[in-house]
Amino acid sequence: MIIKEYVKNKKIEMKNLILNMERRPKLVIVQINEDEASKAYIRGKLKDAEELGVNAELVKLPLDTTEGELLKKIDELNHDESIDGFIVQMPLPKHINEETVKLAISPEKDVDGFHPLSYLDPCTPRGIMNYLKAENIQIQGRNAVVIGRSNIVGKPMARLLLKESANVTILHSKTSFEDMKRYIANADIIVIAIGKAGFLDRKFDYKESAVIVDVGINRLEDGLHGDAERDLPVALQTPVPGGVGLLTRLALYENLLTIVENKK
Ligand code: GUN
């Protein structure tokens, strides 16, 4: 099923679930940047909230907010019982340490799943795993290659694929081209998140039955491009735009609902 359809159906299910709750779940989004991509992500998240019946509030703090002031705000949100979960939109201004901020968010309310003690999975890997399962893609015993080793996509993605018993390899900027070719040619599932437009192209060989999950969102003059060239000769390739971005947005609310359900 194309991702748009899948997300639409999932949203209907979630909306019905929320309608039957005693109170609407509440999400807070904290923003301390004027970043265009962040603005677009936040607009999308707020639109989803409205559609789903989630009470979402945007807290915009000035760019000169100090780390101490932000930590105080986080402490307030951690203790506010009317709030089920919150996120601090990244990137943050240079004078604020992102790692300190991630660790300050209570794992109980960490909808992003960024805290090392969080029981929630980060949104992009969670969204991707749910989609692969919905598509009945076999994971157990398959060769999964994750390209990129970031803390929010590559590493948790590899962990989730391993949990489902895939044979997982992580490739990265120090992997030689020859090795890259070899692993890609043998891959059943490729998840790429390196932020390089069209990196996966026809210089690589692919299994005809391979699945490519493209996490890249690269803004070029002629529009948005993924990390993979379009229409590669594989069985399934997620598009950009209209692909993983939608799955990530959906997973944010899946995480929020997991938090609400766990409170019962
Ligand atoms: N900036 C870009 N993507 C994300 C995300 O998933 N969560 C947060 N908090 N910031 C982001």
CATH of the domain at 127: 3.40.50.720
What mean pLDDT is predicted for residues 31-47?
Answer: 95
Confidence bin at 264 (pLDDT 50/70/90): confident
pLDDT in tens, 165-176: 999 999 999 999
Tell me which residue range forms the domain holding 43: 22-108
Tell me, using a 6 A CB cutoff, whether residue 251 lines ligand 1: no
Using the predicted structure, report yes or no on whether residue 56 has a pLDDT greater than 80.
Answer: yes
Using the predicted structure, report yes or no on whether residue 121 has a pLDDT greater than 80.
Answer: yes
Using the predicted structure, report yes or no on whether residue 218 has a pLDDT greater than 80.
Answer: yes
Using the predicted structure, report yes or no on whether residue 1 has a pLDDT greater than 90.
Answer: no
How many angstroms separate the CA atoms of 100 and 96, rounded? 8
Instruction: Return the pLDDT at 110.
Output: 97
Instruction: Return the pLDDT at 263.
Output: 86
Angle between the N-to-C axes of helices 244-263 and 36-52, in degrees from 0 to 180, rounded to the nearest 10: 50
Distance 171 CA to ligand 1 centre (A): 23
Using the predicted structure, report yes or no on whether residue 2 has a pLDDT greater than 80.
Answer: yes
Summary mean pLDDT of the chain: 97
Residues 6+ apart with CB under 8 A from 208: 233, 234, 235
CA atoms within 13 A on the CB side of 240: 26
Q: Supply the pTM of this predicted model.
A: 0.95
How large a percentage of the chain has pLDDT more than 70? 100
How far is CA 41 from each of CA 47, 71, 90, 184, rounded to the nearest angstrom?
10, 23, 10, 31
CA-closest candidate to residue 64, choices 94, 91, 26 = 94
What mean pLDDT is predicted for residues 135-140?
Answer: 98
Residues 152 and 59 in one domain: no
Using the predicted structure, report yes or no on whether residue 52 has a pLDDT greater than 90.
Answer: yes
Residues 187 and 225 in one domain: yes
Looking at the CA of residue 91, tell me the nearest atom of ligand 1.
Answer: 1
112 is annotated as an active-site residue? yes
Instruction: Return the pLDDT at 227.
Output: 98
Is residue 116 assigned to a domain? no
pLDDT in tens, 224-242: 999 999 999 999 999 999 9
Catalytic residue among 45, 73, 102, 109: 45
Distance 141 CA to ligand 1 centre (A): 31
Residues 127 and 238 in one domain: yes
How large a percentage of the chain has pLDDT more than 90? 98
Q: Tell me, what DSSP letter sits at residue 110?
A: B
Residues 128 and 27 in one domain: no
Looking at the CA of residue 37, tell me the nearest atom of ligand 1.
Answer: 2
Distance 89 CA to ligand 1 centre (A): 5
Tell me, using a 6 A CB cutoff, whether residue 88 lines ligand 1: yes
Residues 129 and 236 in one domain: yes
For ligand 1, atom 3, the nearest C-alpha belongs to 90
Is residue 100 assigned to a domain? yes
Tell me, using a 6 A CB cutoff, whether residue 101 lines ligand 1: no
Using the predicted structure, report yes or no on whether residue 200 has a pLDDT greater than 90.
Answer: yes
